[in-house]
Amino acid sequence: MKNQVQEIAADCDQLPERFICKDAEEYAGESCPTEIPVIDVSLLTSSHSELDRLKSAVTTWGCFQAINHGIESSFLDKVREISRLFFNLSAEEKKKYLREEHDIEGYGNDMVFPHCKTLDWTDRLHLTVLPQHQQRLHFWPQNLTNFKEVVDEYSSKIELINEVILKALARSLNLEENCFLDQYGTTAKMMARFNYYPPCPWSDNVWGLKPHSDGSAMTLLLQDKEVEGLQILKDGQWFRVPIVPDALTINVGDQIEIMSNGIFKSPIHRVLVNSKNQRITLAMFCMPQTEKDIGPVDELITDDTPRLYKNVTFSIEFYLENYQLGKRASEACKI
């Protein structure tokens, strides 16, 4: 049996049962016109109004499109190019990097969970990129020129943007600017997920990615340059996330929702696929050191705003355990 979606898409005249999304009625609804806020990262240290706009974006949407973030357009193109080259490798070559059944790192498609057997119409390459000593290099493509150099450089640039945003979020709440970063510990972790969504003739019947929130602190997404697909849930409605040239789409994950005692929202999002065009994206998940306890920042707990979340060691296993039960990890931490 073919397992990779890319292989199935190339040679299949009927949608395999395991991809059929049963909640098609919810799926079919039109998405709304979009108002996802655009934030100029270069203004966050100098402009109060931009800081206020950031706060408003993250308290209402949980996400925003970041422009002027300091990464050159030509470098973003290089990142897109190595992603494309990876998924263009032969099936045989890519299989050298296959993830194992209970591992999340490596190349492959969805993990299959007992409560939820519908597979997403996507293949991924999932890698720990930081700290560098935790990189599992046997999952990193060996025969792609510059793959590691580009990913390492991109990860360092993303780490800097993540710090700027986390400091700005803290200042926007009149908190000491390192209060979120202090919870990162000494060896903050970053995972990269290269997502490949092949064109799908049955695009109305599959998920590119099922609705979920991220277990990260922050996620920084490099969208495909031409093909849309991401949608965000807000006030019970799905909004499409348009492509803004050279922007990074940034969303808060469950861990910042917890650290901010629920002020910042980790949004539910999903991906729809396209019947004609492939789509390639790269999500960078920034999070604290794996074994570090996180919890609401003390200053945010007051008589009027009591503590909403317990302290928790937010491991990937903890996220997946809850995901398997169909629960958001941040919900599982609620008091």
Ligand X SMILES: O=C(O)CCC(=O)C(=O)O
| Nearest-approach distance from CB 266 to ligand X, in angstroms | 12
What is the residue-wise DSSP string for 261-311?
Answer: TTSS----EEE---SS--EEEEEEEEE--TT-EE---GGG--SSS---B--
| Euclidean distance between CA atoms 233 and 272, whole angstroms | 13
Residue 76 CB burial class (10 angstroms; 0-12, 13-18, ≥19): buried
| Euclidean distance between CA atoms 106 and 86, whole angstroms | 12
CB atoms < 10 A from the CB of 38, how many?
15
For the chain, the C-alpha Rg in angstroms (whole number) is 19
Q: Which is nearer to ligand X, 298 or 331 (CB)?
A: 331
Q: Which is nearer to ligand X, 204 or 298 (CB)?
A: 204
| Euclidean distance between CA atoms 145 and 288, whole angstroms | 31
Binding-site size for ligand X (CB under 6 A) equals 11
- Say whether residue 271 binds ligand X (CB under 6 A): yes
Q: Which is nearer to ligand X, 167 or 193 (CB)?
A: 193
- Say whether residue 5 binds ligand X (CB under 6 A): no
- Say whether residue 189 binds ligand X (CB under 6 A): no
Binding mask 131-160 for ligand X (x = CB under 6 A): ------------------------------
| Nearest-approach distance from CB 35 to ligand X, in angstroms | 18
| Nearest-approach distance from CB 216 to ligand X, in angstroms | 9
- Say whether residue 328 binds ligand X (CB under 6 A): no
Contact status, residue 211 vs residue 26, Cβ threshold 8 Å: no
| Nearest-approach distance from CB 12 to ligand X, in angstroms | 22
Which amino acid, 324? Q
Contact status, residue 55 vs residue 173, Cβ threshold 8 Å: yes
Binding mask 279-308 for ligand X (x = CB under 6 A): --x-x-------------------------
| Nearest-approach distance from CB 194 to ligand X, in angstroms | 9
Residues within the interface to ligand X (CB under 6 A): 193, 195, 209, 214, 221, 229-230, 269, 271, 281, 283
